[in-house]
A and B are shown apart, each in its own frame.
Chain A
Amino acid sequence: MLQDSAPRVPFARLVLRNGGTAIIGKLALVAGALALTACGSNTAREIRVVGSSTVYPFTTAVAEAFVNQDGGRKAPVVESIGTGGGIARFCAGVGWEYPDIANASRQMKKSEYALCQRNGVGEILQVQIGIDGVAIAEAKKGPGLHLSKRDLYLALAASPYGRPNRARMWRDVNPALPALPIQIMGPPSTSGTRDALVELILAPGCTAVDPEAKALKAQTSQAAFDERCKRIRDDGVYIDKGENDNLIVQGLSANPNALGVFGYSYLEENADRLEGAPIDGVVPSAQTIASGQYPGARPLYLYVKKRHLRAVPGLADFLALYSTMWSPNGRLASRGLIAAPEDVRAQAAQVIAQRRALKPAELH
């Protein structure tokens, strides 16, 4: 059994070392002590995880295995609030009231890393736990659309070629497609899944069809490029179903002509009702996503506060347990996680074992 042998650091000292958030004086110490006594023994606080709804099923599975290993451990608390919201809470500071881990279905942005640094979070570990596909799927009895990134961009963007999008039928987008109304159900703008849809499918589709897009991307200000290529239309064609991916699955069963956007694990779980729509001729499957052939493949991450590793009991064990479960025949694979290639897994395990902090240059 792995035991964290490093000496524990009480949270109060963490805050003391962290000059960035607050000027520490006697009053804050008194208030902190009061807050600590009010909450019982916060030095032995449980592990707290926030973030992506796509990573949630995997982190909860690890949390469960973590408690099953030893019933005496405090159960980790996992909240699903979306990648953006999760990283914002994660980056709010260090101390007992802030989460230890952020689940993310995309890489942390440079601006988010800067926020973390402003709030004195300090060193962060970036652990890739596996790969997920942004699956575009339809009901089994659906029309069987074969789409390209270009079609999806023209169907979903708010202003393709800089003009308001008036396409209502798939035929308006591509004459080879049937005359069916475009209806796409997906997650809200706080979702990492939607960010991935934009980054992996819409933006490449945009640069492929629109010659001006390349010029816009080369500009120092990305605002015009984002407006042209990344903004999703809000005239009812893209139907925002909230962070509840089951609602999208139900919506597809009720409306076979619609398409749904969600994490690949939902497609796999509902394989008897749904089927993936091929993009550029590639059907989403475990193989095509792992090999990177499927355009909607994206890595999933955990972000961990290095300072909390020593303050929160069991956090290091939790991460070590995570790394034993993400292999291709591990427990997480049966929950729909697609294992990362072997070298990526080895690298991630190394980050955990050596507590190697993320360098800002690694973000893009």
Chain B
Amino acid sequence: MNNARATQSTQAQERAPTDWKTVAMQRRIRKRYRAERRFRFFGIAAVVLSAAFLAFLLVTMVAQGWRGFTRTEIMLPIDFPASGMMVERAQLDTAGADLALAGAGLENAVKSAAAAAFGPGGESYISDNAWVSVRKAIKHDASVLDRKTQMRVPASSEVDQAMAGRGTSEILAAVAKLKNAGLVSRHLNLDFLKVSDSTDPVAVGIWGALKGSLLTMFVTFLIAFPVGVLSAIYLEEYAPRNRWTDLIEVSINNLAAVPSIIFGLLGLAVFLGSWSLFGYRVGPLLPRSAALVGGLTLALMIMPVIVIASRNAIKAVPPSIRDAALGIGASPIQVVFHHVLPLAMPGILTGTIIGMARALGETAPLLLIGMRAFIVTPPGGLTDPATVLPVQIFLWSDEVSRGFVEKTSAAIIVLLVFLLAMNGLAIYLRNKFETRW
């Protein structure tokens, strides 16, 4: 031992001290500084590039999408007494009011009012659904039926496009005239957040898809969170280390990387498929297009992500905490639920919410289980047919009418705000519960 140290020190004495002043050494130093600067430049360039992509996305979305939150409305004079509509006043307070007004020819009355006000062809200036908003006004205050009145109703898609300078020269001239008379203007359209899909871009809303997303996420969370966390606790705290647990671990890691469309096929086969058992036909277990099926399918998809995140969070809890708790007489289950799980919670929640955010933006598996349909009313419950936000965006991007372009961007903004809120919640929870040792 002593011998070895002695030879080492003699070697060190024999080596000449580094001369930092030589030309070769100076060159080497300059080269190192250059490499350092180059690396910092590449780092900054990477950050700037990704920030530029993000900014481009946000700017184009907001620039196109803000118009989607507004709509063109047109002032329509209606003379109800002269329209010859026969409506029983008593019916207006009952559930049959919609049918009574529709049956009384309100749609035609509104159309002829538009033709009377704006000249021949004027009925094409108001939206096909304009009479629905007139009906809402009548249900709100039935006394308008006795007088001549003016109402702001949604304008047709053509007028809306003409306001943005697109369309044939006739409609552009007509709209310019209406604009000068102050009859047509753009207004904030809160209905966009309150109603569901429509074939008319003027009348569409995002609420149906938003509610579908909320219901789907609710089911996903309800299934994936407890199952994922409990599997992680068992695998980390209780499971013996052997070939079987290794196999399970490898499978979970693999499942986390499986493309989402595969889970869609799985959901289609399990929840919506039917089998032949002993000659009898069984299934489908659940209705097509329902938020329940979507939620279950997405839960299958994000469960591995939650298991992996939770296991890492549980692993990061120092063993001393477990030992101390066991040492003062806590049972293993008390150790887990009183000490390990609370300390691991920030990591588990962050992992869960990132998984949920992925599920929120998922389209492919939902297309397979029929959540891509046109549905005019928002879902009433978990088993009602529904769509979700990303699928709604996909459907609108495929629409014939051009007014849907800005509505698509507006829907993307709603989706981004939803995602931002979820990620914000993840950061808040992490900061609130985080403990440092």
Q: Indicate whether A79 sits within 8 Å of B287 (C-beta atoms), given known contacts A64-B199, A69-B98.
A: no
Name the A residues within 8 Å of B166 (CB-CB): 272
Q: Indicate whether A64 sits within 8 Å of B198 (C-beta atoms), given known contacts A39-B383, A56-B374, A78-B374.
A: yes
CB distance from B215 to the nearest CB of A (A): 14
CB of B376 within 8 A of CB of A72, answer no
Q: Does A244 contact B (CB under 8 A)?
A: yes
Give Cα distance in the complex from A80 to B394, angstroms.
Answer: 12
Contact with A along B367-378 (1 / 0, CB 8 A): 000101111110
Q: Does B284 contact A (CB under 8 A)?
A: yes
- Tell me which of A21, A61, A69 contacts B102 (CB under 8 A): A69
CB distance from B218 to the nearest CB of A (A): 17
CB of A77 within 8 A of CB of B289, answer yes
Q: Does A67 contact B (CB under 8 A)?
A: yes
CB of B287 within 8 A of CB of A246, answer no
Q: Does A27 contact B (CB under 8 A)?
A: yes
Nearest to A21 among chain B residues (CB) is B281
CB distance from A27 to the nearest CB of B (A): 5
CB of A64 within 8 A of CB of B376, answer yes
Q: Indicate whether A75 sits within 8 Å of B383 (C-beta atoms), given known contacts A27-B278, A245-B398.
A: no
Q: Does A227 contact B (CB under 8 A)?
A: no
Number of interface residues of B (CB under 8 A): 49
- Tell me which of B199, B272, B290, B402 contacts A60 (CB under 8 A): B199
CB of A35 within 8 A of CB of B285, answer yes
Q: Indicate whether A77 sits within 8 Å of B287 (C-beta atoms), given known contacts A70-B102, A269-B400, A331-B128.
A: no
- Tell me which of A46, A70, A245 contacts B98 (CB under 8 A): A70
- Tell me which of A38, A53, A245, A269 contacts B402 (CB under 8 A): A269
Nearest to A70 among chain B residues (CB) is B99
Contact with B along A63-92 (1 / 0, CB 8 A): 110011111101111111000000000000
Name the B residues within 8 Å of A334 (CB-CB): 124, 128
Q: Indicate whether A269 sits within 8 Å of B401 (C-beta atoms), given known contacts A60-B374, A69-B99.
A: yes
CB of A35 within 8 A of CB of B284, answer yes
- Tell me which of B98, B129, B281, B402 contacts A22 (CB under 8 A): B281
Q: Does B209 contact A (CB under 8 A)?
A: no
- Tell me which of B129, B282, B400 contacts A31 (CB under 8 A): B282
Name the B residues within 8 Å of A63 (CB-CB): 374, 376
Number of interface residues of A (CB under 8 A): 51
Give Cα distance in the complex from A124 to B62, angstroms.
Answer: 49
- Tell me which of A22, A31, A57, A77 contacts B199 (CB under 8 A): A57
Q: Does A1 contact B (CB under 8 A)?
A: yes
CB of A27 within 8 A of CB of B280, answer yes
Q: Does B48 contact A (CB under 8 A)?
A: no
Q: Indicate whether A68 sits within 8 Å of B132 (C-beta atoms), given known contacts A77-B373, A97-B288.
A: yes
Name the B residues within 8 Å of A164 (CB-CB): none
CB-contacts of A12-29 with B (<8 A): 21-25, 27-28
Q: Indicate whether A335 sits within 8 Å of B397 (C-beta atoms), given known contacts A63-B374, A78-B373.
A: no
CB distance from A195 to the nearest CB of B (A): 20
CB of A1 within 8 A of CB of B103, answer yes
CB-contacts of A33-59 with B (<8 A): 35, 38-40, 42, 46, 48, 53, 56-57
CB distance from A19 to the nearest CB of B (A): 12
Name the B residues within 8 Å of A269 (CB-CB): 400-402
CB of A336 within 8 A of CB of B400, answer yes
Give Cα distance in the complex from A28 to B286, angstroms.
Answer: 15
Q: Does A105 contact B (CB under 8 A)?
A: no
Name the A residues within 8 Å of B372 (CB-CB): 79-80
Give Cα distance in the complex from A210 to B277, angstroms.
Answer: 54
Q: Does A113 contact B (CB under 8 A)?
A: no
CB of A71 within 8 A of CB of B385, answer no
Give Cα distance in the complex from A266 to B399, angstroms.
Answer: 9
CB of A77 within 8 A of CB of B385, answer yes
Taking A31-B281, A80-B374 as given, write out 13 further A-B residue pairs in contact, using a Cβ cutoff of 8 Å, ordered by the A residue number: A22-B276, A38-B383, A39-B290, A60-B199, A68-B132, A77-B289, A77-B373, A80-B372, A80-B398, A97-B274, A97-B288, A243-B398, A245-B400
Q: A: which residues have CB within 8 A of B? A: 1, 21-25, 27-28, 31, 35, 38-40, 42, 46, 48, 53, 56-57, 60-61, 63-64, 67-72, 74-80, 96-97, 243-246, 265-266, 269-270, 272, 331, 334-336
